[in-house]
Structure 1
Amino acid sequence: MFIRSLKSRSGNTQVQVLEKVDGKNRVVKHLGTARTLLELIQLKQRAADYLDQIRIKKGVVSLFDTRYTKTEFERYLDTLIFHPVRETPGYEFFSHFYRYLGFTRLNDEVFKDLVLARILYPASKAATQEWLEEKLQKEYSLTEIYRCMQKAFAAGYRETLEELVFKFATANLTPDISVLFFDVTTLYYESAHPDELRQPGFSKDGKPNQPQIVVTLAVTTQGFPLHLRVFSGNKFEGHTFLPCIKELVGQHGLNKLVVVADAAMLSATNLEALEVNHLKFIVGARLGNLPRNLFTQVVTNTPKADGATVRFNLSPGRILIVSYSQKRAYKDKSDREKQIARANWILANPSVIAGRYKYLKRQGQGLSLNTEQIEKGRLLEGLKGYVSNACEFSDTEIIDKYSQLWMVERAFRMSKSDLKARPVFHALRNKIEAHLTIVFAALAIIRYVEILTNRSIAHLIKILDRVKEVVIEDPATGEIVKKYSEVTEESRNLFNLAKIKIG
């Protein structure tokens, strides 16, 4: 019999006792899987002890056979205390950036740990409490955590954080914030009775009958968050825009601001309000809704050449820019043909309950193809429109600025996926607001780290998760030694970035 250590693709090591039978190895006992060097040492010791017991029972070896006694090193290890392996490397890494962004001004250790846990282990507050205790040996009661959230709401943590991220952004990322991207998302509740805040409304998650809240977010050209607000779930997203922009302008004196948003955000009233306040905007145009004469001008006068742009005057000081993309044309045509095929299938199967289909219209008691919409779709293939009052910008500048709108959309995706802003396990407004304040702080940290490293947060956490902290104590002297296990060149570079000494 012998001991085998088998390393898997994930980097973990299985420890087994094997014996050779008829020329083939047979597993006698599987001791376990080691994820750290300390666990590997412990499993190998258990395997050696098991092997010795088997040999002694079989009379293969004497109790006094010195070949199987412990080495001096092993006897020394037995005198030491091995504390539970900790998840501190990732925690210390993001702690550095929590401090670097100035969030320690809040002077709230519990809030800090909730923010860092949201990055490293996004879960309910009860699960977060368990994780902090088990992995970091930080003991908080649920009462302490909820008390912290109440304090975060009452003391205006979010407003303080917004002030801090704005100062940080202007000092380290964008000295002159002249362009902001603005968007809205919804966070729904699986099962909850509607109240003043949680109301059914237009859902971006496809849950129109579920109570939800509306969340707005403004980010810089690099996707760094500056402003977050919460509205009731039935609030029309276009009505959330103006209060937030006015607040930002008033707080930071952004008088030369260009606001970029999609068509749903900027109603005619919102556009006029921006102009009254001498602010510039770039918004996606709904070309299919243009007046007939202007629609005809657009589809007739825009060259079907890749990258072509045409500028149309809408009113004094306001323009419409239309661009053509061959790639977009292929996609538009493909999407249109799929929609037509779906519409024809519904017409051929009238017993099937149909939802809303783009190219179907009601005709009497039945449905028919909407040939007018089909033709309009054909004429608009490859075309994209932008409305702006920033007439001093070139067509390319306006299109380039609008094309960065994905930054705010990505920030929302990060909030929903990496930070798991949803599900929201809170019903009271103060706790909902506090929860999203934690998400906002975490989003600012991870976005800055992504900008700094040019790596996604998922990739960074994967690297950091592999590194554990091993803590060994000598009870005779009281000396405690802490070491990081399995430090790769990539993780070492991250620790250097966060000024963490790893020996």
Structure 2
Amino acid sequence: MLKIREVKTTSGKTAVQVILYKDYKRKILKHIGSGKDDGEIHTLKLQANQYINDYTQQLSIFPDDNPNMVLFIEHTECIGFYYWFFYNSIQKLIEQIGFDKVCNHLLRDLVTIRIFEPASKLRSIELLKTYFGINHRRQSYYNEAPKWLKLKERVQRTVASFAQKVYDFDSSLMFYDVTTLYFETFQEYDLRKNGFSKDGKSQQPQVLVGLMVNKDGFPIAFDVYPGNTFEGHTIIPTIKSFMKLYEIKNLTVVADAAMISVDNIEQLRKENIHYIVGARLGNLSEESFGLLDHKIIREDGKIVRINTNKGYLICSFSTVRYRKDKYEMEKQILKAKDIVDRPAKNKKAKFVKSHKEQLTLNEELIKKTSKLLGLKGYYTDLDEATLSTNEVLKRYHDLYKIEQAFRIAKSDLETRPIFHFKEEPIKLHLLICFMALVISKHIELKTGLSIRKFITENKRVTDARMFNSLIQKEIIIKGKLTDTANAILQNLGIPH
């Protein structure tokens, strides 16, 4: 049994001790200190109580009557905050998705901190300690990271299985697009190659990333290609890899106009892959253009379907699109006229043509473009009986959701710029970012909040780190959940 004992000293002060009584014997377990007045003695007794609580390993460090008495406010300072509510929420989502069965603790934590505050891998290890009090050794990262490169297929299978349970994922319909991620360097190496940059960084090497999402915009699979790869050359190998992984026999892919070519269409048909892709009407053959111009009715909402060598060409007319296209064309014509009137080197414009070093307006192109004002085209190999024209348009319009996923990856998760040099670290970086994207998109779909807003709301629930100089101990004061935080937990299906 532990007791607090007060003993008068020869100096006239009162010593406070913690005494252990055992087998009718008394043992001084801890000498707390000596006080000269009632105030000091009272403080020493509180410290003695705290020592007894710690020694006996009681669960609560605060007595029910007055927590401030044990906290010793006048001797306590705030040394920081932990964000355990955010961390625990993400860990629960990781378990829901199934990543905990695929990845070890360190990889899961790197995914978590990528969402909270993107940084380099080694900096992320430091931030895990700062924000969550979680310690990982740098050497652990170096030892484990090479093994994670083999997890890509398992991660994608896990994501697809989760999507089937939560989002009724239909593997027979996928949306595909690519983006570029640039490097903070000007030196090419391995995957890092110069190419057409969607980020406006044409002088810097990049990689090309192909992403597949479902109808909700939930990411399912990804692939990485050298930065000088033409984006149209990525669709076939990515889709074939996806179909092989999930043993899919029948698939319809939705993609933008850059993915379509005669060669691609032949390969898609050969692999029994159906397609809905954007059409570049300016590249139509003379025969197809003439047929379209003859059949289309230029009234809002009118649609025409034409059979071509690339499949069925579906075109719709919109008065809103017409006004926008007309405005853009008129601007380009004015620019072309200015160049023709005042020729100068290195000046190019859409409606300018050159003949024997003489610049003139391209009247034929202007006439053709004017006939395309307000038109939007799509190619598909699916006939009307298989999929109606309106359904084709609806599915293509859902392609914008993949752009939303890219924005999350690039802006919120800061997937680029990439600072790695070799192929393996680059692929590992993208694997971590893909897993973080899966979690982020799930949060967005279930809560209606952007990932940035989600983090902001989570940061409102903090755990204060208080250091008491009297007992030389750090004390954690748990934060209270806000109404919004409770709603987030409910929407995500996380038990409180």
Query: Aligning the two structures, in what range does the TM-score lie when normalised by the shorter sequence?
Result: 0.7 to 0.9
Counterpart in the other structure of 2:418: 424
Match for 1:318 among 311, 316, 326?
Answer: 311
SS at 1:446's partner residue? Answer: helix
Q: What SS does the corresponding residue of 1:208 show, helix, strand or coil?
A: coil
RMSD of aligned residue pairs (Cα, Å): 2.6
Work out whether 1:122 is the aligned partner of 2:118.
yes
Of stretches 419-428 and 284-293 in structure 1, the one that deviates more from structure 2 is 284-293
Alignment partner of 1:372 is 2:372: no
Q: Equivalent residues in 2 for 1:118-267 (5 A)?
A: 118-153=114-149, 156-267=150-261
- Superposed CA offset, 1:28-82 (max 9, x none): xxxxxxxxxxxxxxxxxxxxxxxxxxxxxxxxxxxxxxxxxxx985983346675
User: Counterparts of 1:480 and 1:129 in 2: how far apart (Å)?
Assistant: 23
Instruction: Please name the residue that 1:362 is paired with.
Output: 354
Q: 1:336 aligns with which of 300, 317, 329?
A: 329
Whole-angstrom CA distance in 2 between matches of 1:390 and 1:373: 31
Identity of aligned residues (%): 35
Give the aligned partner of residue 442 of structure 1: 436
**Scaled by the length of structure 1, what TM-score is found?**
0.79
Q: CA deviation at 1:99?
A: 1.3
* Alignment correspondent of 1:465: 459
Task: Give, as a single letter, the amino acid of the residue that structure 1 aligns with 2:314.
Answer: I
Aligned with 1:272 (options 266, 271, 279): 266
Q: 1:484 aligns with which of 467, 479, 482?
A: 479
Could you list the runs of 5+ residues in structure 2 that have no partner in the other structure? 1-66
On the 8 A contact 1:259/1:280 being kept in 2, the answer is: yes
Amino acid at match of 1:185: T
Deviation per CA, 1:128-162: give whole Å up to 9, x if none. Answer: 23322222222334443344432211xx1221110
Structure 1 residue 387 corresponds to structure 2 residue 379: yes
* 1:94 is aligned to 2:90: yes
Q: AA paired with 2:108?
A: K
Mark the CA change 1:79 to 1:240 in structure 2 (over 3 Å): closer, same or farther. Answer: same
SS at match of 2:479: strand
Structure 2 length as normaliser, TM-score? 0.80
Structure 2 distance, partners of 1:236, 1:478, is 60
Match of 2:28 in 1: none
Question: Which structure 1 residue ranges, 5 or more long, are not aligned?
Answer: 1-70
Query: Could you tell me how far apart the structure 2 residues matched to 1:112 and 1:182 are?
Result: 27
Q: 1:125 to 1:361 in 2, by over 3 A?
A: farther
- Secondary structure of the residue aligned to 1:331 is helix
- The letter of the residue matching 1:484 is G
Structure 1 residues 345 and 414, CA gap change in structure 2 (3 angstroms): farther
Alignment: residue pair count:
427
| Larger Rg, first or second structure (1 or 2) | 2
Q: Decide whether the 8 Å contact of 1:96 with 1:498 is kept in 2.
A: no
Shift of 1:423: 0.8
Contact 2:178 2:231 in 1 (8 A): yes
Q: How does 1:39-54 map to 2 (within 5 A)?
A: none
The alpha-carbon deviation at position 119 of structure 1 amounts to: 0.8
Tell me, in whole angstroms, the C-alpha distance in 1 between the residues paired with 2:490 and 2:216: 24
Counterpart-to-counterpart distance in 1, 2:342 and 2:405? 42
Quote how far apart the aligned CAs of 1:425 are. Answer: 1.1
Equivalent position SS for 2:354: strand
Superposed CA deviations along residues 343-368 of structure 1, whole A, max 9, x for unmatched, are 233334434642x4222223333533
Mapped contact 1:125–1:142 kept (Cα < 8 A) = no
In 2, the alpha carbon distance for the partners of 1:281 and 1:125 equals: 39
